[in-house]
C-alpha cells in the first residue's frame, strides 16, 4: 500500500451512513465496519477528526409545524447519540477517542475546545465532533467544513451512499455522468448536491479539498487517502 497523502483528515459521516439498509437508527454492524476502517487509518499514523450527522434519527426539517430552532436543536442532539455510538464502537477496538460537543453536556462529552482537540489529534486520538456547529439553521456538512478549517485538516472525506458526484441523480437518470474532479465554483454554479452551499463556500474560501466517495465499499477510505481514484475530488 502506498503512503497516505494526508496527515490530518476530517471524516464526515452522515447519519444515514450509520443506519445501513434500515435507513433509520443505528446499525451496529455498519458502525463497527466504519470503526475498523478508521482504526486502520489511525494505525497508519493518520490523525482523524470525525463529524457525525444526525439525519438517521432526526432532521430539523422533520419538524413540520414545529418551531424551526427547536427542531434544529433536536437534530443537534441526534448527532450526539451517533457520536457516542461511534465512540463506543471505536473504543471496543482499542482506538482512543474523545467526543467534543458544540453544545455543552459535560457529563457525557468534552465541550469543543479547539486547542484540546488539536492536542488529542497529535496524540493519535480520534476526535468525534458532535452537535454540529451548535447553531440552528446550519448543517453537519457546515460543521465538518468549520471544524476542518479549525483543526487545519488537509482534506475532508465526505462519505456518502453514492460513489461520487453526478451531473444528475443516477437513481433516476441511467445516463447520469460521474465527475472525477470538480472545482468549488462549478459545484456552486451547477448547484450540484455535494454539500450545502454554506459548507461548500467555507471549503472554497479556506481551500480545503473534499473527496466524495461511497462508504459501502470496504477499504475506500484508505484508498482515497492514498491517492487512488475514488469518487469525486472537489477543490479550487
Give the interface with ligand UDP as residue ranges (CB under 6 A): 14-16, 53-55, 59-60, 72, 75-76, 78-79, 132-133, 135-136, 138-143
Coil, helix or strand at residue 73: helix
Spatial CB neighbours of 205, under 8 Å, sequence gap ≥ 6? none
What DSSP line would sit under 145-170, residue for residue?
A: HHHHHHTT-SEEEEEESSSSEESS-T
Q: Which is nearer to ligand UDP, 65 or 189 (CB)?
A: 65
Nearer to ligand UDP, 93 or 113 (CB): 113
133 has binding-site annotation = yes
CA atoms of 145 and 155, how far apart (whole Å): 10
Residue 145 or 225 having the CB closest to ligand UDP: 145
To the question of whether residue 179 is assigned a binding role by annotation, the answer is no
**75 annotated as belonging to a binding site for a ligand:** no
Q: Is 24 assigned to a binding site? A: no
Least separation in angstroms between CB 123 and ligand UDP: 27
Q: Is 13 annotated as a binding residue?
A: yes
Residue nearest to ligand UDP (CB): 53
Q: Per DSSP, which regions of the chain are E strands?
A: 8-13, 47-52, 97-101, 110-111, 126-130, 155-160, 165-166, 178-179, 181-183, 210-214, 232-235
Q: Least distance in Å: CB of 53 to ligand UDP?
A: 2
Cell of 24: 433509520
Between strands 126-130 and 110-111, the pairing is unpaired
Q: Least distance to ligand UDP from the beta carbon of 78, Å?
A: 6
Closer to ligand UDP by CB, 102 or 225: give it: 102
Binding residues for UMP: 54, 72, 133-140
Binding residues: 12-15, 54-55, 59, 72, 133-140, 166, 169
Amino acid at each position: 500500500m502506498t503512503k497516505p497523502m494526508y496527515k490530518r483528515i476530517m471524516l464526515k459521516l452522515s447519519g444515514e451512513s450509520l443506519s445501513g439498509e434500515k435507513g433509520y437508527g443505528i446499525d451496529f454492524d455498519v458502525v463497527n465496519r466504519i470503526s475498523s476502517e478508521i482504526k486502520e487509518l489511525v494505525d497508519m499514523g493518520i490523525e482523524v477528526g470525525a463529524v457525525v450527522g444526525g439525519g438517521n434519527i432526526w432532521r430539523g426539517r422533520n419538524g413540520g409545524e414545529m418551531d424551526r430552532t427547536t427542531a434544529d436543536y433536536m437534530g443537534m442532539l441526534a448527532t450526539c447519540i451517533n457520536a457516542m455510538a461511534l465512540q463506543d464502537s471505536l473504543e471496543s477496538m482499542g482506538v482512543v477517542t474523545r467526543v467534543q460537543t458544540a453544545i455543552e453536556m459535560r457529563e457525557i462529552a468534552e465541550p469543543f475546545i479547539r486547542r484540546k482537540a488539536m492536542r488529542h489529534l497529535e496524540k493519535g486520538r480520534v476526535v468525534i465532533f458532535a452537535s454540529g456547529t451548535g447553531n440552528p439553521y446550519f448543517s453537519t456538512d457546515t460543521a465538518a467544513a468549520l471544524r476542518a478549517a479549525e483543526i487545519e485538516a488537509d482534506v475532508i472525506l465526505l462519505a456518502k451512499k453514492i460513489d461520487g458526484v453526478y451531473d444528475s441523480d443516477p437513481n433516476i437518470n441511467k445516463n447520469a455522468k460521474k465527475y472525477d474532479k470538480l472545482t468549488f465554483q462549478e459545484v456552486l454554479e451547477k448547484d450540484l448536491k455535494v454539500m450545502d452551499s454554506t459548507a461548500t463556500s467555507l471549503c472554497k474560501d479556506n481551500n480545503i479539498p473534499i473527496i466524495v466517495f461511497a462508504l459501502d465499499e470496504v477499504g475506500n477510505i484508505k484508498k482515497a487517502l492514498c491517492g487512488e481514484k475514488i469518487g469525486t475530488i472537489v477543490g479550487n
